[in-house]
């Protein structure tokens, strides 16, 4: 198949999933065309069969805000016609579903059929889409999509309830390449790599996100401050965003800045995750929890919040520990107890890896997408 993919090319989970999906599809022999305003950051040229098409946006003075959604629709139609795409797969409903709908209508006038799939990822439904300015058009675009998927059962149910959507939504979970995200096979090499952040007797806590308010990065620092007061430890934060400064200043005020490492955005997070002992995810909401899954595949349990789709991913007490939002003291106590019990930590590490392999490896999820595409094309 020839598949067009549109996503936000930034550090957020929807862009990561869309990019990794394109890479996996290309690896399976499909031809993938990314259509966006810039190249997705995880596209690094490691796979053939992938093409990128930039969306040019006019800066004509008349426009106070450049009309990206219209430019995207035009580019979608151009790429689809020139490269004879079989379908479009758009990630994050706003504005990508609307643009795909316009592209489909443009091509239909010329006698060409271009079905499109919309994948719902989270804040496009739980935050942005519920804004009264966007709710009607978001509902319409979802309803008019040829196929709709959701990354969790939680998000599917919320979409049906909040938007009054009557069409079928298929749940296809996020995934991870278990051959890319895996623990170190050589413990000596792992210890050598860990030395960049910690001494042998120290534990490493890690957080990975886009540092938006919903991720509660300040809570990560608070949890670590309590943990490090009792357990020798270092904190590694991967990512960037609007709450980084607040987290930096809190670390400074708590006088733990020497043990907190802000790495910024990193492309090869699969090499950093296996160094950690725990992932800390105190999010206000997670529709799935991709970072926790990537950590699980690397044998790193998560200290996380019981929100959204997280209970679908993490088996509380088996592959990680779940707490209420804002329960900083409880999360710290759970982390301390786990880090102080080597046997329990090892059991949880092993259980997480097995769960990722059994339910969320790309080899299991990719066929679900391919089957979904084929059902649309057959129809």
Ordered by start, the domain boundaries in the chain are 2-175+361-378, 187-359
The average pLDDT across 340-365 equals: 97
Does 43 have pLDDT greater than 90? no
- Look up the CATH superfamily of 187-359: Glycogen Phosphorylase B; (3.40.50.2000)
Residue ranges with strand state E in the chain? 2-6, 31-36, 50-54, 87-91, 116-120, 147-150, 170-171, 203-208, 233-238, 260-264, 278-281, 302-305, 320-323
d(CA 176, CA 106): 35
pLDDT given at position 58: 76
What does pLDDT average to over the chain?
A: 93
Pairing state of beta strands 203-208 and 233-238? Answer: parallel
Asked if domains 2-175+361-378 and 187-359 share a fold, the reply is: yes
Say which CATH topology domain 2-175+361-378 has.
Answer: Rossmann fold (3.40.50)
Please tell me the pTM assigned to this model. Answer: 0.91
> CA angle at residue 44 from 39 to 50, to 5 degrees?
70
How big is the CA angle at 179 (ends 173 and 182), to the nearest 5 degrees? 90
Per residue in 167-191, pLDDT (tens digit) is 899 999 999 999 999 999 988 999 9
pLDDT at 44 over 90: no
pLDDT confidence tier of residue 47, bands split at 50, 70 and 90: low
Higher pLDDT, 122 or 97: 97
At 10, the pLDDT band (50, 70, 90 cuts) reads confident
Average pLDDT, stretch 12-37? 92
């Amino acid at each position: 198949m020839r598949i067009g993919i549109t996503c936000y090319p930034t550090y957020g989970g929807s862009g990561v999933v869309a990019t990794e999906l394109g890479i996996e599809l290309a690896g399976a022999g499909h031809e993938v065309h990314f259509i966006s305003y810039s190249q997705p950051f995880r596209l690094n040229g490691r796979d053939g069969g992938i093409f990128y098409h930039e969306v040019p946006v006019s800066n004509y003075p008349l426009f106070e805000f450049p009309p990206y959604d219209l430019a995207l629709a035009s580019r979608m139609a151009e790429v689809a016609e020139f490269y004879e795409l079989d379908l479009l797969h758009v990630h994050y409903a706003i504005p990508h579903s609307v643009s795909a709908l316009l592209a489909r209508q443009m091509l239909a006038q010329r006698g060409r059929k271009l079905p499109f799939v919309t994948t719902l990822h989270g804040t496009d439904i739980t935050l942005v889409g519920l804004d009264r300015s966007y709710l009607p058009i978001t509902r319409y675009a979802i309803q008019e999509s040829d196929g709709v998927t959701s990354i969790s059962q939680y998000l599917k149910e919320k979409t049906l309830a909040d938007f009054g959507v009557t069409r079928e939504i298929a749940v296809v979970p996020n995934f991870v390449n278990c051959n890319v995200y895996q623990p170190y096979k050589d413990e000596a090499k792992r210890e050598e790599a860990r030395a960049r952040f910690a001494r042998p007797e120290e534990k490493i806590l890690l957080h990975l996100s886009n540092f938006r308010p919903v991720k509660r990065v300040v809570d990560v620092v608070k949890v670590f401050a309590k943990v490090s007061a009792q357990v020798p430890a270092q904190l590694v934060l991967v990512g960037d965003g609007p709450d980084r400064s607040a987290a930096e200043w809190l670390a400074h005020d708590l006088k733990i800045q020497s043990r907190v490492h802000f790495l910024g955005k990193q492309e090869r997070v699969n090499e950093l995750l296996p160094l950690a002992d725990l992932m800390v995810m105190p999010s206000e909401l997670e529709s799935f929890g991709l970072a926790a899954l990537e950590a699980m595949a690397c044998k790193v349990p998560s200290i996380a919040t019981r929100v959204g789709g997280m209970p679908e991913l993490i088996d509380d007490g088996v592959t990680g520990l779940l707490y209420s939002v804002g329960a900083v003291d409880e999360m710290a106590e759970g982390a301390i107890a786990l880090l102080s019990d080597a046997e329990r930590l090892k059991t949880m590490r092993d259980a997480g890896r097995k769960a990722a392999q059994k339910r969320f490896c790309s080899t299991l999820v990719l066929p679900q997408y391919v089957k979904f595409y084929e059902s649309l094309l057959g129809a």
